[in-house]
Structure 1
Amino acid sequence: MAVAMKNNNSRYRSLILSIAVFLALIGVLLAFTFYTSSVLERNTALVNVSNKTANNAQAVIKDLFDLQSSVGEHINSPHQKRVRERLAANANDIDQLLSGMDSGADYVEGHAQNIPKINTETGLAQLKEVQNDWNRLKPRIEAYLEGADDIRVDSSDELSLAYEQAKTSSLRMNDALNSLTKEVYEDTKQQANTIRLIQILGVAAILAYFIIFVFFFVRRLRESDAEALEARRETQEIMQTVNTGLFLLDKDLNIGQQHSKALSNILGTERLAGENFTNVLRGRLSEKDLSTTRQFIEQLYNPRVKEKLVDDLNPLHKVMLHNNSPEQVSDNRYLDFKFSRVYEGKDIARILVNVNDVSDAVRLEQRLEQERAQSDMQIEMLATILNVEPKIINDFIVNTKLHIDRMNNILKNPGSNQFELESKLNSIYREMHSLKGEASALKLHSFTKIASDAEDQLHGMQNQGKLSGNDFLPLAVHLDELLNLSNTIETLGERINQSSPAAAASRQSGVATRSANATEQFASNRSASSALHSSAVSANEEDASLTKYYQEFAQQIADRQQKQVQLETKGLKSSIIPDSLSQVVKEISIQLLRNAIVHGIETPAEREAAGKSATGHIQLTVENIDQSLVMTLNDDGQGIDYETIRARLVALERYSQEQANDLNQDQLLSELFSSGFTTRQSADEDGGRGVGLDIIKERVQEHQGHLNVSSDQGKMTRFVITLPLQ
């Protein structure tokens, strides 16, 4: 670019110099013409002055002759007076004209006239003769005129003397003036010829220079046009050949007239030259991205902003361009735009844009990322399988499929009114939350992530007001993902334990009985699972495994909530918990533990401020009492704050302030267990959605059990759940 600019400047410099020379020649010719014109004007003026002087001399002789002829006429007669006045005027004119030709002067006779000075020797000599003769005649005329108008003075003698002198002097004056006029005329004629010759030669030289100038520069222009045509042809060949989209942008984001052929294919439109860049992308990018792009390019035109610094802010780096055609939605492309400054000298003239279709590379990256995520998920699952008792893993798989079957069955029920749709929503929410709790306890983050996404969707449906059957359709995707993950972990478990025929038989038995009702299938799988592991582990080992399972789960939640807890368990063994209640015990225990840590136990700072130890204590106990299974969970946390529940109900607009004030503790506790109610302001993986206590209530009711809650604010909370063994 700099070389091209240098060549263009060199070419224009020679053109400007040539034009300057051409104008200089014309200027010189015009100056010479003006000068010679002034000389001719001067000589013409001298000729006129000389002729006028001669005419005045003749007029003087004529007037003297007239006066001499009219001697005896009264001196005051009109004729005498008119002739004398004319004689005086002509004498004065002659005097002024001769003086002007000698030294140069202004002569006034009705109008101003500049008398050129004679500067040639011959002319001066002839002027001298005229002046000598006039100096002889002038005194005699003055002597006559001095007393000619006085009747008392006789001026006849002076008139005679003047007349006689005029006859002699006027002839010599006329001869000298004629010679002077002839000399000036010849000089003028010679100068005119010289001027004509010089003008002809000057015009010829100017025409010759103009012809040479035109010929030279036409040839140069032809050469430049040929070079430009060749450069354009090469540029077009490059633009036709390159596989990337190349074009220039001005400050107004208008695309230049030249762009690569590949650009039309990449952007999917032929109309590009001169079009506004944002208009080309409008409808294929969001308005926010278009606005960001406009601001980004404005920064590129800012010379105070370094190009490398703003390159990282490029909003069109591997961006997806949507296809404008609705029938070709799958043809959406990923494009990568790179912006570079184009300088003219030190000024930013244009922005060069290089755009590449990176769809294949991006899709390959996405596929690799998916495969990497799949590998990470399998590693996560393998770690869980290897670190958790097989019975717990098998129970999780069976329970997951049981939850999915339940949610599928709920989804099959269309719901005829808003109440049924809301009940359907709450039922799915409980199943999903329970599944998430078990997955979180096993550190299966892939399960937890999918379940959390589903909960976000369910939470949005709870807040949207009116529901329809179509609102539940997207949930099928989450269920399918969960089922695939469950099958994956089941397959991995089978591969690890493929040497155990009993394990395979147990899983096949569980799959074969899935077509039965959900409760029978769950009991069958649990029995098969118990049969599988009864020979491998003792009751004490099973008790230790479950204790470890719950303690690790409690520690995970505490770490996420930045709290410290110590969990003590008792009775977590098969001799106390029958198979028919093992699943519900686990489900309720998970929700109780999460609720105790999230809502009950305070942070270390809060506990120490209240005079407690930094570590919160939780006891989970399972007992058989009077043909019932009694679960008890105690925590030494902050207890239930009924006023917080009351304020939250008002904030959620479930009650007015007056209605909330009328609620007693039992009613407030009932609201605490209602679906979707929580005292937390925001939700996370561990709580804040108002589902955990709802699940506990629902499961207790399903098994015809009893739920009792007692709390001492600031000191403790106790949940006692009684489930009949029959």
Structure 2
Amino acid sequence: MPSRSNLDIPKSRYTAIIVSVVIFLLLTSGVLITSIYNSLKIRDLRAGTALSANLRSDIPRLTQEIYLLNTMREQKQLAAELAIQTTKVNKLAESIDAEVKTLVDGGKVNIRDEEDVYKPSQKADQLEYVQKTSTLWAPYKAALGRFVIADTSLNASALENEFGDASQGIYNNATGLTDSLSGENGQRASFLRNLQVFGISFAIIYFIVFVLYFVRRLKASDEELISARRETQEIMETVSTGLFLLDKDLNIGQQYSTALTKIIGSDRLGGENFASVLRGRISDKDLNTTRQFIEQLYNPRVKEKLVESLNPLHKVMLHDTSGAQASDSRYLDFKFSRVYENKEIARILVNVSDVSDAVYLEQRLEKESAQNDMQIEMLTTILNVNPKIINEFITNTKLHIDKMNNVLKNPGSSQYELEGKLSAIYREMHSLKGEASALKLHSFTTIASDAEDKLNALQNQGKLGGNDFLPLAVNLDELLSLSNTIETLGQRINQAAPTSISNVKATTAPVDRNEWDDFNITDSSVNSAVDNAVSADNGWDSGFNSNIDVEDNSDSHLLPYYQDFAAQIAARQGKQVELNMTSLAHVEIPVHLKKAVKDISIQLLRNAVVHGIEDANTRTAAGKPATGVIALQMKNDGQNFTMTLEDDGQGINFDGIRDKLVAMGRFDAAAARNLDRNELLKQLFSSGFSTRDVADEDGGRGVGLDIIKAQVKEYDGKLNVNSEFGKMTRFVITLPAA
């Protein structure tokens, strides 16, 4: 049995360790404190060096600008140019004055978008440089003030006496101060470097001494560590998700799960840069965002939960190694978590899983949902609209698409021919959108509006090229697909059921909107289409307000169609409108004119509600009823078919047309004043003209009146416009009935 003395652990056993630790801590603290102090001094010296360097570069510039100003005065250059140069001299002088003041009193100094605080140097030579600089600057500044105020030039000798010698003196002192500060900065940097070498050497020696002591204990714990590592390896080989660690340089750790190689599609990942692995397989934008995101994860001031939603690799598509979206491209979901060591962010744990099946399912559900919504919209339209109107819409849509396709196929690459194509396509697209809007087919309207945005951009870009029209092919395909869809749905529904038709009065809450808008036309020969534009024709009754018998003839189905369309526009524009159409129930529209009459009617109604009828407040203030009245009348005498639309709105604002023409740069103010009303109406019907600044679903595209003019011209008809400002506007369109 051992004695007690053999069992006791001698106290001196830990004395060397304690002493070594205390010495190590003291030396380390000394090194750190000294390093911090020197770092602060180096930072201060850096600020002083930057400040003096700025002064050294600014003073010659100021002197040069003064000489330039003097030369400009001698040459008697324009006052505006002299003022600009004087301002430049004053600003540079203010900057130098601030620099000198900071050298003397201290202050803030901006260095590469960072702000340092400069404290005045206490070294004798540096103080001397600063004092000399300040002494030289004071008379220089005073002389500059006199020179600027005097507004006269100096001869070369006087200029040199006033500014040349002082400038050189300031430059020399600034150079001396810069050299002195740089030298001191270098000394302190050298000292700091030696101190760090000492600290590192001490740490190495400390390590060597203590490693021998702990090696035995480490051997004892090796088996335990190996066992734990084996367990970790088994876990990494078993999990189905990809696990790995990232350091600050985005390098992947050597330990990662076996599943990661299969998910990423690469066998060599350990030690590879994460950005290099992803490069070419995700977009450059996502790659750059990923770098920034991981940098924020390493920022301890940023809350991990706050940036989690900004993860750019959440359900991201990972392309094959060629960068193309191939069949083996997959959707991966990366999740990032911080790994802490001693409360500091050491690494980032990344958990990546293949979510391709879930994403594809989600996309399929979204697509099916969108298709269902579209079909529900179409079914609602089919069930609530007269079958004749649906069939007409399908037929007209295909005609519009065919016309646009034919226009695109037509040869011709000159600028004039391309502009003609653009106007023709714009008219067809606008007509299609108007008819779709009347039926509340928002899917058609959305695609057509997108196409109109593209056409408007082409209209404003100046020079056109054949390839500029290629993006429109996508819109045409989408419209044709929707047209086929609604046609198929219509065929599946029993269209034999009668559709009840009722009269509609559009009365909505008012919104102030009394600006006359424009509709554009490409052809310049408006004089053949706009005839007697400002005549005082009052030979028809505009006060129709009776119920309509909708069962008289085959065109009666258009009555609720136009009523509902007018009500929709009024609701969107915040106006109150009543539409009277007594004659439509008793007139037969010639078959060859049905589409043209419908297109023209839609554009006339749009124009009347959007640009003619005022909002309720404006009408009331003008002594009118709050509800505006629009009368659409049609007449067929066997020889001619006549359409007349009159509204009791604000009339055509010819002065507004003049102002818009000047604003658009088509005419100068003098030329615009000389335009008579017929010429102004020609501009109103011209391509690209609009009095409205913002376009929406109902107006502002500058195409509506263009469509009317084109239809009238196509059928060799006549167009008469009559307007009385503040009271009414009337459009009379006459087309050959045979």
Q: 1:248 aligns with which of 239, 245, 249?
A: 245
> Quick one: distance in 2 between partners of 1:483 and 1:411?
16
Distance 1:647 1:281 in 2: 57
Matching residue's letter, 1:678: S
The reply to whether residue 374 of structure 1 matches residue 371 of structure 2 is yes
Look up the match of 2:566.
554
The answer on 1:568 being equivalent to 2:580 is yes
Query: d(CA) in 2 for partners of 1:548 and 1:571?
Result: 14
> Given the superposition, is the C-alpha separation of residues 652 and 316 from structure 1 closer, same or farther in structure 2, using an over 3 Å criterion?
farther
CA contact (8 A) 1:616 1:636 kept: yes
1:455 lines up with 2:452 in the alignment: yes
Over residues 328-368 of structure 1, what are the superposed CA-to-partner deviations in whole Å (9 max), with x where a residue is unaligned? 55655433332323333544433323233333322322222
Distance 1:304 1:25 in 2: 38
Aligned to 2:332: 335
**SS state of the match for residue 337, structure 1?**
strand
Residue type at the aligned position of 1:547 = L
Cα displacement (A) at 1:418? 1.8
| Structure 1 letter corresponding to 2:724 | D
Q: Distance in 2 between matches of 1:425 and 1:671?
A: 18
- 1:440 corresponds in structure 2 to 437
Cα gap change, 1:304 to 1:709, in 2 (>3 Å): same
Q: Select the residue among 5, 14, 20 that pairs with 2:14.
A: 20
One-letter amino acid of the structure 2 residue matched with residue 440 of structure 1: S
2:611 corresponds, among 573, 584, 599, to 599
Taking the aligned partners of 2:560 and 2:273, their CA distance within structure 1 comes to 65
Q: Which residue of 2 aligns with 1:100?
A: none
Q: Distance in 2 between matches of 1:26 and 1:483?
A: 86
Deviations 1:658-699 (A, max 9, x none): 544443332222222223332222222222211111111101
Is the Cα contact below 8 Å between 2:555 and 2:589 reproduced in 1?
no
Q: Decide whether the 8 Å contact of 2:579 with 2:629 is kept in 1.
A: yes
Correspondence for 1:388 = 385
Does residue 539 (structure 1) correspond to residue 551 (structure 2)? The answer is yes
Mean Cα displacement is larger for which, 263-272 or 424-433? 263-272
**Structure-to-structure mapping, 1:32-51, within 5 angstroms:** none
1:652 alignment partner in structure 2: 664
Partner Cα distance (2:20, 2:255) in 1: 43
DSSP-derived class of the 1:539 partner: coil
SS in 2 for 1:584: helix
Q: Match of 1:311?
A: 308
| Counterpart amino acid of residue 367 in structure 1 | R
- Corresponding residue for residue 464 of structure 1: 461
Deviation at 1:322, TM superposition (A): 5.3
Displacement after TM superposition at 1:443 (Å): 1.0
Which of residues 393, 396, 399 in structure 1 aligns to 2:396? 399
CA contact (8 A) 1:415 1:424 kept: no
Letter in structure 1 aligned against 2:408? L
Mapped to 2, the partners of 1:24 and 1:408 lie a distance apart of 91
How far apart are residue 453 of structure 1 and its match?
A: 1.9
User: Is 1:325–2:322 an aligned residue pair?
Assistant: yes
For residues 490 and 214 of structure 1, what CA distance do their matches in structure 2 show?
Answer: 85
In the aligned structure 2, how far is the partner of 1:498 from the partner of 1:567? 28
| 3-state DSSP of counterpart to 2:630 | strand
Q: Which residue of 2 aligns with 1:413?
A: 410
- How does 1:466-481 map onto structure 2 within 5 Å? 466-481=463-478
Distance in 2, Cα, partners of 1:232 & 1:269: 24
Contact 1:414 1:469 in 2 (8 A): no
1: CA distance between counterparts of 2:264 and 2:664? Answer: 50
Aligned mate of 1:578, from 590, 594, 597: 590
- Whole-angstrom CA distance in 1 between matches of 2:425 and 2:324: 36
Displacement after TM superposition at 1:499 (Å)? 7.3
Change (3 A) 1:220 1:578: same
The CA distance in 1 between the partners of 2:405 and 2:596, in whole Å, is: 20
> Given the superposition, is the C-alpha separation of residues 18 and 445 from structure 1 closer, same or farther in structure 2, using an over 3 Å criterion?
farther
Does residue 1:425 correspond to 2:422, yes or no? yes
Q: Distance in 2 between matches of 1:300 and 1:614?
A: 62
Q: Which has the larger helix fraction?
A: 1
Taking the aligned partners of 2:353 and 2:416, their CA distance within structure 1 comes to 54
SS of the residue 1:572 aligns to:
helix
Q: Which runs of 5+ in 2 are unaligned?
A: 1-10, 22-209, 498-548
Aligned-partner residue type, residue 20 of structure 1 = Y
Q: Is the 8 Å Cα contact of residues 639 and 737 (structure 2) preserved in structure 1?
A: yes
Does 2:356 match 1:359? yes
Letter aligned with residue 594 of structure 2: S
Q: What is the DSSP-based 3-state SS (H/G/I as helix, E as strand, rest coil) of the residue aligned with 2:581?
A: strand
Shift of 1:279: 5.5
SS at match of 2:697: coil
Q: Residues of 1 paired with 2:240 and 2:669: CA distance?
A: 69
* 1:227-262 deviations in Å (ceiling 9; x for gaps): 434444443444444343333344555544433444
Cα 1:420–1:610 shift into 2, 3 Å: same
TM score, norm. by length of structure 1: 0.60
Do the aligned partners of residues 394 and 266 (structure 1) sit closer, same or farther apart at CA in structure 2, a change above 3 Å counting?
Answer: same
* Equivalent residues of 1:592, 1:633 under 8 A apart: yes
Using the aligned pairs only, state the percent identity: 69
- Taking the aligned partners of 1:487 and 1:442, their CA distance within structure 2 comes to 16
Select 1:629's aligned residue among 611, 634, 641. Answer: 641
Contact 1:341–1:348 (Cα < 8 Å) also in 2? yes
Give the number of the structure with larger relative contact order, counting CA–CA contacts within 8 Å between residues 6 or more apart. 2
> Does the 8 A contact of 1:539 with 1:574 survive in 2?
no
Tell whether the 8 Å contact from 1:629 to 1:723 is kept in structure 2 after alignment: yes
Residue in structure 2 matching 1:712, options 719, 724, 728: 724
Change (3 A) 1:579 1:26: closer
Give the Cα–Cα distance (whole angstroms) in 1 for the partners of residues 324 and 17 of structure 2: 69
Alignment check: 8 A CA contact 2:281 2:322 kept: no
What per-residue deviation string (whole Å, max 9, x for no partner) do you get for residues 591-630 of structure 1? Answer: 1111222222333344444444433322211123573222
Structure 1 residue 455 displacement after superposition = 1.7
1:334–1:541 Cα change, 3 Å: farther
Q: Contact (CA 8 Å) 2:282, 2:323: kept in 1 or not? A: no
Q: Structure 2 vs 1, CA of residues 656 and 257 (structure 1 numbering), >3 Å: closer, same or farther?
A: farther
Sort the Cα spacing of 1:24 and 1:313 in 2 relative to 1 into closer, same or farther, 3 A. Answer: closer
Q: Deviations over 1:131-180 (max 9, x none)?
A: xxxxxxxxxxxxxxxxxxxxxxxxxxxxxxxxxxxxxxxxxxxxxxxxxx
Name 2:72's counterpart in structure 1: none
Distance 1:664 1:234, change over 3 A: farther
Q: Secondary structure of 1:678's match?
A: coil
Q: Shift of the alpha carbon at 1:568?
A: 1.8
For 2:580 and 2:214, the matched residues in 1 are separated by 102
8 Å CA contact 1:567, 1:620 repeated in 2? yes
With the length of structure 2 as denominator, give the TM-score of the two structures.
0.60
Cα distance change, pair 272–539 in 1 and its aligned pair in 2 (3 A): same
Give 1:183-222 correspondences, 5 Å limit. 218=215, 220-222=217-219
Alignment-derived partner of residue 179 in structure 1 = none
Instruction: Report the AA paired with residue 539 of structure 1.
Output: E
Shift of residue 273, structure 1, vs aligned partner: 4.7
**Cα 1:23/1:223, change in 2 over 3 Å:** closer
3-state SS, counterpart of residue 397 of structure 1:
helix
Instruction: Tell me how far 1:588 sits from its aligned partner.
Output: 0.7
CA deviations 1:456-514 (Å, max 9, x no partner) are: 222222223332333323323322222222222122221113779xxxxxxxxxxxxxx
Please, what is the CA RMSD of the aligned residues? 3.5
Distance across 2 between alignment mates of 1:233 and 1:299: 33
